[in-house]
């Protein structure tokens, strides 16, 4: 508090705990931050409620592409060890989806784009994941460790690979959607209002700094960076030449 103000009204004025203009301004910022935190908590609670609404049947079912997974080979399925290998397959099976029935993807070879069948393999779990899958001693004997270098970790990682992958074959089936999430329109409306409020006023940055302690600038400019990176994608040559000509002039 200003000393001149104290001299004018006496030291008894201190008992009223009057705040300076700077303290009042600081309290306004703190109050606004508390409102953002409260809004963030409400948003998390609503998203959790939305996730817990459950599912409802979709009538009629809709096909969305194709799915591919592993099954037992015919001769293995007819053998006495069918149940044994079926239990192994349940733990290392993988599933892939595609809009094409043949699961072909574009790949550039010698400057040309060709279609090749997408590769799909059995699960190769990490050591900690392998121990959690609950394999029996007999099942563990059919796996061997394999070390592979992972660039993002900068070290070699041990994985467990199945010794007899020939016992399983890939099978393609239609990917049928027979259920959908339940929708609460009032909940969706409230979430949209909160989203619009944060985006319209550009409060996401401040909220991220309050909650997480930092704000990633590149994350918010991701769309702009992608637009700059692919500025001439899917554009005719004459339009590109006209743009470059204008920049030179």
- Which pLDDT score is estimated for 247? 47
Residue whose pair of structure tokens reads 């080979």 in the numeric block: 73
Within-domain flag for 147: yes
- Which pLDDT score is estimated for 213? 83
- Which pLDDT score is estimated for 91? 95
- Which pLDDT score is estimated for 4? 61
Nearest-angstrom CA–CA distance, 125 and 7: 76
Within-domain flag for 96: yes
Domain span at residue 137?
57-179
Contact 214, 205 (CB under 8 A): no
Residue whose pair of structure tokens reads 């399983």 in the numeric block: 168
Backbone CA torsion sign across 131, 132, 137, 139: negative
> Strand locations in 122-167, DSSP E?
143-150, 155-162
| Total of domains in the chain | 1
Within-domain flag for 10: no
- Which pLDDT score is estimated for 2? 58
As separate numbers, helices (DSSP H) first and strands (DSSP E) second, the chain gives 11, 7
Nearest-angstrom CA–CA distance, 239 and 116: 33
Q: For residue 93, what is the DSSP state? A: -
pLDDT tens by residue, 103-121: 999 888 887 888 999 999 9
- Which pLDDT score is estimated for 154? 83
Nearest-angstrom CA–CA distance, 173 and 163: 26
Within-domain flag for 104: yes
Within-domain flag for 165: yes
- Which pLDDT score is estimated for 42? 95
State which residues of the chain have pLDDT below 70.
Answer: 1-18, 216-234, 238, 240-249
Contact 179, 53 (CB under 8 A): no
């Amino acid at each position: 508090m200003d000393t001149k103000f104290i001299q004018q009204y006496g030291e008894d004025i201190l008992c009223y705990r009057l705040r300076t203009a700077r303290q009042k301004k600081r309290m306004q910022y703190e109050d606004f931050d508390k409102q953002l935190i409260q809004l963030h908590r409400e948003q998390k609670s609503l998203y959790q409620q939305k996730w817990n609404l459950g599912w409802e049947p979709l009538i009629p079912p809709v096909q969305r592409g194709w799915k591919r997974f592993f099954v037992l080979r015919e001769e293995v399925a007819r053998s006495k060890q069918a149940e044994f290998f079926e239990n192994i397959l349940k733990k290392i099976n993988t599933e892939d989806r595609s809009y094409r029935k043949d699961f072909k993807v574009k790949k550039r070879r010698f400057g040309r784009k060709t279609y090749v069948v997408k590769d799909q393999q059995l699960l190769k779990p990490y050591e900690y994941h392998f121990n959690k899958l609950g394999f029996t001693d007999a099942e563990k004997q059919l796996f061997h460790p394999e070390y592979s270098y992972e660039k993002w970790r900068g070290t070699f990682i041990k994985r467990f690979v199945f010794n007899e992958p020939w016992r399983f074959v890939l099978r393609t089936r239609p990917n049928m959607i027979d259920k959908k999430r339940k929708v609460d329109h009032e909940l969706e409306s409230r979430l949209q209002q909160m989203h619009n409020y944060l985006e319209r006023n550009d409060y996401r940055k401040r909220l991220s700094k309050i909650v997480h302690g930092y704000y990633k600038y590149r994350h918010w400019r991701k769309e702009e960076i992608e637009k700059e990176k692919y500025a001439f994608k899917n554009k005719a040559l004459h339009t590109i030449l006209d743009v470059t000509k204008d920049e030179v002039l």
